[in-house]
Amino acid sequence: MKILRDLIEVDTAVEAFARALSKISLRTESLRIGEALGRVVASEVKAEFDFPDQDRSAVDGYAVVAEDTYYASQYSPVELRLVHDRRGDLCIGKGEAFEVFTGNPIPCGADSVVMKEDTVREKDKILVLKPVPVGGNISRKGEDYAKGSILVPKGTVLNPFHIAIMASNGLKTVEVFEELRIGVISTGNEIVSPGLARKQGEYYDSTGVLINQLLIQDGFYKVTYYGVFPDDVKALTEALEEAVLENDIVLTLGGTGVSESDVVVEVAEKKGGLVFRGVKMRPGRPTSSSMINGKPVLHLSGYPVAAWTGYEVIFRRAVAKAFNLLNYNRRVAFAKLARRLPNQVGYQTYIRVQLKMGEDGLIAEPYMLRGSGVLSSLVFSQGYVEIPSNIEGYEKGEIVKVFLF
Amino acid sequence: MKILRDLIEVDTAVEAFARALSKISLRTESLRIGEALGRVVASEVKAEFDFPDQDRSAVDGYAVVAEDTYYASQYSPVELRLVHDRRGDLCIGKGEAFEVFTGNPIPCGADSVVMKEDTVREKDKILVLKPVPVGGNISRKGEDYAKGSILVPKGTVLNPFHIAIMASNGLKTVEVFEELRIGVISTGNEIVSPGLARKQGEYYDSTGVLINQLLIQDGFYKVTYYGVFPDDVKALTEALEEAVLENDIVLTLGGTGVSESDVVVEVAEKKGGLVFRGVKMRPGRPTSSSMINGKPVLHLSGYPVAAWTGYEVIFRRAVAKAFNLLNYNRRVAFAKLARRLPNQVGYQTYIRVQLKMGEDGLIAEPYMLRGSGVLSSLVFSQGYVEIPSNIEGYEKGEIVKVFLF
């Protein structure tokens, strides 16, 4: 019987896989900004002009000379003469006011805007009931961003806000990294491709579907799914050779255990070399990595929750590290544990939790089912807790960090 | 000068727009599960068989009769005879053990699995060092889910976990709602379509881009962008008529203010009827709604942050309500305010915040710039705080709920 020796720490595994990934030479392409949602910016985007490009009113009201209003009050309003724009290049002077709406340019001579609700209108004049300071209610030129400032840094995963701010600067295209090509190979004699007939004791390849969908959701991977292969050295050797040829990265699912039929890591070892074999994490202990023909390969468990843990912790963190991604990390929240979470010292443990709204914050209800095949624990969770390998767990009532899905 | 009278509460506006939306008759379609990420399930998905469909070992070890191990200890190990499967339909008896790996079926006669690390192997026998209870280390038939249980309820926005659990049950297709057809119309004489030349004082349609991208990100809308229209009654009338004909819902951007050139709501009022005109929220106060030829129309501000607020608060909450979506709400976290957040009583206020990791939790640093045109406040935020209309604000150091992007 084979045994997993030399398990390494999670951080060491992330480091090692990131090093392997960093050998990939990323290609870039120019995309229309409207097509770039979820893609990674390859070179920083700088503003070509100030935004706004002139002072604007931030409210509906009247552009005035602030000094005129300094002694205004409800009981002794200040009277200003309303002027109208005759030639489109108006300047106002002391004692004058000019009507503006939110977003309108500020006429020359004016240095502030008094809000409509702080005035009373009387035909051709207004009464100001409240003082306004110099600059009051004006959106300054360059207030949103100044010419030359960085709108979107390199390594940003583009969201709708990034794309909108590029649009505000008139940008039509953005330089992004080409999608990383990822090949996914499922293995296991007892695994059946979805859609085929199945006998008792055989299982549909839900792990393959899960990893494919997670990659698709992340938005900058081009996934090729090679299907389910038997635990056969020859078939797996051929599949791996084809997959590394056609992709930047290969993920294998299953066959990472210690039974005689678990051959995928052996095959990888023979074809190239192991980077690591097993990680001090639970679930996902047999997660391994190799290099085949110069391409990084990550071997994930065939069990959905263990595979998910390897994907979430080793794969995603290594990708973020290798390519300096700025916003590829999970959002976090803090929550109070509804139950004690024991840990086996020496292992970094990942516990799925359901989040509920408590009286004064979030409450995390852990899924304690040990089975790494229990997909429903992921379906009904909203995040997970990471227990460091050097502690015996968390107590009930403790506030813990939750990584959110 | 026109004035916004009869502003309604945020909840009332959500309610009213949800009522308008609920008149839409949703169509359904059958999709391959692999194509359904982000789509909404139209009828609940039930399990067709137990998963797993038989008892399985949850660990690597030996299937045994639990009673045999009750007095086992490091100092007085229990010796069991290793048996091998000769015909594939093995039964074990008392005094016997059978090697199993994680996921293997449990042979008949066995009622528990002793973990490998709690044994010592000696040729054809093992020494058990620790007792195991009945059922110990066994994944029970149906442990993940039982036949007939609901795997994915109606109204679920499908994520990778949902798709994987459907795959585990051999499902090839899933019934989802057809994408909602949404038409987007930008208005404003000073607004320029991205890509065209622009003069000082003119602005690119970043709001149009923002709303389009938000809709695309949400995954179950089919967006048609009609472009930028001038503040002209005839042009806008035609555009609105075309858009309501071709879509389930129409969003207009801009022209919701009170200046003479803000005509879009007037047009809508003439063509159909106003549902509401203005909401007690900041930003997004002029957000309005109408029905045109029986189709719900939401009028959002032309300023990006105000439009985003209307989209986030009125549109998304109404969609979730009208169609009973289960997981379309934002994730939340709690954070300590780094500064005081004042509120004008009578308005529900939305403040973008940047989240930082503090010593014992998250810290929320608010963006206080009042300008509703300040897109960078969205770019650099990770969420927002909602201040109810009946309070004067939150104090510095208070723990507040943050809706996460």
CATH value at residue B164: 3.90.105.10
CB contact under 8 A, A165 and B206: yes
Residues B167-177: what's their mean pLDDT?
A: 96
Is a pLDDT exceeding 90 seen at residue B150? yes
Q: Which residue has the higher pLDDT, B85 or A187?
A: A187
Of B56, B194, B331, the CB nearest to A331: B331
Banded pLDDT at A370 (limits 50, 70, 90): low
Contact indicator for A33, A172 with CB cutoff of 8 Å: yes
Record: contact A144-B375, CB cut-off 8 A: yes
Q: Which of these ranges, A358-362, B78-82, B210-214, has the smallest mean pLDDT?
A: A358-362
Cβ of A209 and B167 within 8 Å? yes
Q: What is the DSSP letter of B178?
A: P
Please state, rounded to an integer, the average pLDDT across all residues of chain A.
93
Lowest mean pLDDT among A257-271, B71-85, B234-248, B383-397: A257-271
Q: Please report the DSSP string for B322-378 in residue order.
A: HTT-SS-SPPEEEEEESS-EE--TTSEEEEEEEEEE-SSSEEEEE-----TT-THHH
| Whether A48 contacts A147, CB under 8 Å | yes
Sign of CA dihedral B61, B67, B73, B79: negative
Contact A37 B217 (CB under 8 A): yes
Q: Are residues B312 and B197 in the same domain?
A: yes
Least CB-CB distance to B165: which of A168, A206, A258?
A206
The verdict on residue B239 lying in a domain is: yes
> Measured between alpha carbons, how far is A217 from B160 in angstroms, rounded to an integer?
8
Q: Across the interface, do A257 and B151 touch by the CB < 8 Å criterion? A: no
Q: CA-CA distance, A167 to A144, in Å (whole number)?
A: 13
SS3 B170: coil
Q: What is the pLDDT of residues B273-326, one digit of tens each?
A: 899 999 999 999 999 999 999 999 999 999 999 999 999 999 999 999 999 999
End position of a domain, from candidates B86, B118, B139: B139
Burial class of residue A68 (count of CB atoms within 10 Å of its CB; 0-12, 13-18, 19+): buried
Whole-number Å distance between alpha carbons of B107 and B111: 9
Mapped onto helix, strand or coil, the DSSP state of residue B177 is strand
Q: Which amino acid is at B147?
A: K
A252 near A235, Cβ under 8 Å?
no
Distance (Å) from the C-alpha of residue A167 to the closest C-alpha of chain B?
Answer: 5
Q: Is residue B313 part of a domain?
A: yes
Has residue B289 been placed in a domain? yes
| B203, B357, B376 ranked by CB distance to A165: nearest | B376
Is A5 a domain residue? Answer: no
Tell me, yes or no, whether B98 and B60 share the same domain: yes
**Span B50-65, average pLDDT:** 91
Residues B229 and B309 in one domain: yes
ipTM given for this complex? 0.93
| Nearest chain B residue to A361, by CA | B334
Helix axes A160-168, B206-218, angle to 10 degrees: 160
Q: Does B206 sit within 8 Å of A53, measured CB to CB?
A: no
pLDDT digits (tens, 9 = 90+) for A145-184: 999 999 999 999 999 999 999 999 999 999 999 999 999 9
Name the band, by pLDDT with cuts 50, 70 and 90, for residue A87.
low
Instruction: Tell me if B4 is assigned to some domain.
Output: no
Whether A290 and A336 map to the same domain: the answer is no
* Long-range contact pairs involving A129-134 (C-beta distance under 8 Å, separation at least 24): A129/A72, A129/A73, A129/A74, A129/A77, A130/A69, A130/A72, A130/A73, A130/A74, A131/A66, A131/A69, A131/A70, A131/A71, A131/A72, A132/A64, A132/A66, A132/A69, A133/A66, A134/A66
Percent over 90 (pLDDT), chain B:
81
Mean pLDDT calculated for residue range B78-82: 95
B209 and A164 within 8 Å at the Cβ level: the answer is: yes
Question: Does B369 reside within a domain?
Answer: yes
* Cβ atoms of residues B241 and B202 within 8 Å: no
- The per-residue pLDDT for A373 is 66
Q: Are residues A101 and A186 in the same domain?
A: no
Helix, strand, or coil here: A43? Answer: coil
Contacts of B136 in chain A (CB under 8 A): none
* Cβ-count burial B56-65 (b if 16+ within 10 Å, e if not): bbbbbbbbbb
Residues on chain B touching A331 (C-beta within 8 angstroms): 331, 333, 382, 404
Q: A398 and A343 in one domain? A: yes
Domain boundary among B303, B322, B341: B322
Q: What angle do CA B193, A153, A42 make, to 5 degrees?
A: 85
Residues of B in contact with A347 (CB under 8 A): none
CB spacing of B160 vs A33 below 8 angstroms: no
Interface test with A, best of B59, B82, B199, B213 (most A CBs within 10 A): B213
User: Chain B partners of A303 at a C-beta cutoff of 8 Å?
Assistant: 102-103
User: Residue A261 falls within a domain, yes or no?
Assistant: yes
Q: Above 70 in pLDDT, residue B87? A: no
Q: B185 and B297: one domain?
A: yes
Tell me: do A106 and A125 sit in the same domain: yes
A56 and B151 within 8 Å at the Cβ level: the answer is: no
**CB contact set of B296 (below 8 Å; sequence gap of 6+):** B17, B20, B21, B23, B24, B249, B250, B275, B289
Per the structure, how many domains does chain B have? 4
CB-CB neighbors (< 8 A) of B201 in chain A? 53-54, 105
Nearest Cβ partner for A167 among B165, B209, B370? B209
- A44 or A201, greater pLDDT: A44
Among B119, B101, B118, which Cα is nearest to B57's? B101
Size of interface A-B (CB pairs under 8 A): 227
Residue B101 sits in the same domain as residue B233:
no
Q: pLDDT category, A194, cuts 50, 70, 90?
A: confident
Confidence of residue A1 (pLDDT cuts 50, 70, 90): very low
Residue A240's Cα: distance from chain center in Å? 30
d(CA A14, CA A151): 30
The shortest CB-CB distance from A161 to any of B168, B332, B375 is to: B375
CB atoms within 10 A of CB A284: 30
| Distance from the B173 Cα atom to the nearest Cα atom in chain A, whole angstroms | 10
Range with lowest mean pLDDT among A86-95, A304-313, B282-291: A86-95
* d(CA B293, nearest CA chain A) in Å: 30
Closest alpha carbon to A163 in B139, B212, B182, B384:
B212
Other Cβ atoms less than 10 A from the Cβ of B2: the count is 11
CA–CA separation, B214 and B251 (whole Å): 13
Q: Give Cβ neighbours of residue A21 (< 8 Å, ≥ 6 apart).
A: A249, A296, A318, A319, A322, A323
pLDDT at A134 exceeding the cut of 90: yes
The verdict on A187 and A110 lying in the same domain is no
Q: What is the pLDDT of residues B322-372, one digit of tens each?
A: 999 999 999 999 999 999 999 999 999 999 999 999 988 999 999 876 556
Mean pLDDT within B378-404: 95
Residue B266: what pLDDT? 86
What per-residue confidence (pLDDT) applies to A200? 82
Residues of chain A with Cβ-Cβ distance to B303 below 8 Å are 102-103
Report in angstroms the alpha-carbon separations of B286 from A154, B2, B10, B338.
36, 12, 12, 30
Helices B264-271 and B233-246, axial angle in degrees (round to 10) = 60
pLDDT value for B1: 42
Chain B residues in contact with A302 by the CB 8 A cut-off are 103
Residue B85 has what pLDDT? 72
B107 CB neighbours in chain A (<8 A) are none
Average pLDDT, whole number, for chain B?
A: 93
Q: How far is CA A275 from CA A298, A319, A338, B62, in A?
A: 9, 16, 39, 31
Q: A168 vs B200: CB contact, 8 Å cut-off?
A: no
Using CA coordinates, name the residue in chain B closest to A140. Answer: B371
Token readout for B368 is 């206080």
Quote the strand ranges of A278-395, DSSP E.
281-282, 288-292, 295-300, 332-337, 341-342, 348-357, 362-366, 383-387, 393-394
B375–A399: do the CB atoms touch at under 8 Å? no
Tell me how far the alpha carbon of residue A141 is from its chain's centroid.
Answer: 31
Q: Tell me the C-alpha distance between B387 and B364, whole Å.
A: 14
At A315, list the tokens: 């794969």
Which residues on chain A are in Cβ contact (under 8 Å) with B190?
A: 103
Using a CB-CB cut-off of 8 Å, the residues of chain A touching B162 are 379
Q: Are residues A208 and A272 in the same domain?
A: yes
The answer to whether residue A4 sits within a structural domain is no
Q: Last residue of some domain: B322, B341, B369? A: B322
| B99 interaction partners in chain A (CB closer than 8 Å) | 1
Residues B289 and B315 in one domain: yes
Nearest by CB to A102, which of B56, B208, B257?
A: B257
pLDDT at A80 over 80: yes
Q: What angle do CA A190, A193, A196 make, to 5 degrees?
A: 100
Domain that holds residue B163: 29-49+148-176
Residue in B143, B160, B373 closest to A374 by CB: B143
Least confident span in A329-338, B234-243, B265-274, B348-357: B265-274
Res B123: pLDDT: 87
* Residues of chain A positioned with their CB less than 8 A from the CB of B169: 204
Contacts of B200 in chain A (CB under 8 A): 53-54
- Select from A1, A58, A399 the Cβ nearest to the Cβ of B370: A58
Nearest CA in chain A to B302: A103
Angstrom distance (rounded) from CA A350 to CA A337: 14
State the CATH number of the domain containing residue B112.
2.170.190.11
Instruction: Give the amino acid at B317.
Output: R
By CA distance, what is A50's nearest residue in B?
B200
- E strand map for A237-382: 249-253, 273-277, 281-282, 288-292, 295-300, 332-337, 341-342, 348-357, 362-366
Mean pLDDT of the B13-27 span: 97
| Arithmetic mean of pLDDT, B23-41 | 97
CB-based contact B207 A164, cutoff 8 Å: yes
CA–CA distances in Å: residue A254 to residues A18, A277, B384: 22, 14, 42
Q: Do A161 and B210 touch (CB under 8 A)?
A: yes
Peptide bond preceding A342 in cis form (omega within 30 of 0):
no
> Residue B108 pLDDT more than 80?
yes
Q: Which amino acid is at B80?
A: L
A257 CB neighbours in chain B (<8 A) are: 60, 101-102
Is the confidence at residue B213, as pLDDT, over 70? yes
Measured from the Cβ of residue B29, the count of other Cβ atoms closer than 10 Å reads 14
Domain with residue A378: its CATH number is 2.40.340.10
Percentage of chain B lying above the pLDDT 70 cut: 97
The residue in chain A having the minimum alpha-carbon distance to the alpha carbon of residue B100 is A259
pLDDT digits (tens, 9 = 90+) for A111-131: 999 999 899 999 899 999 999
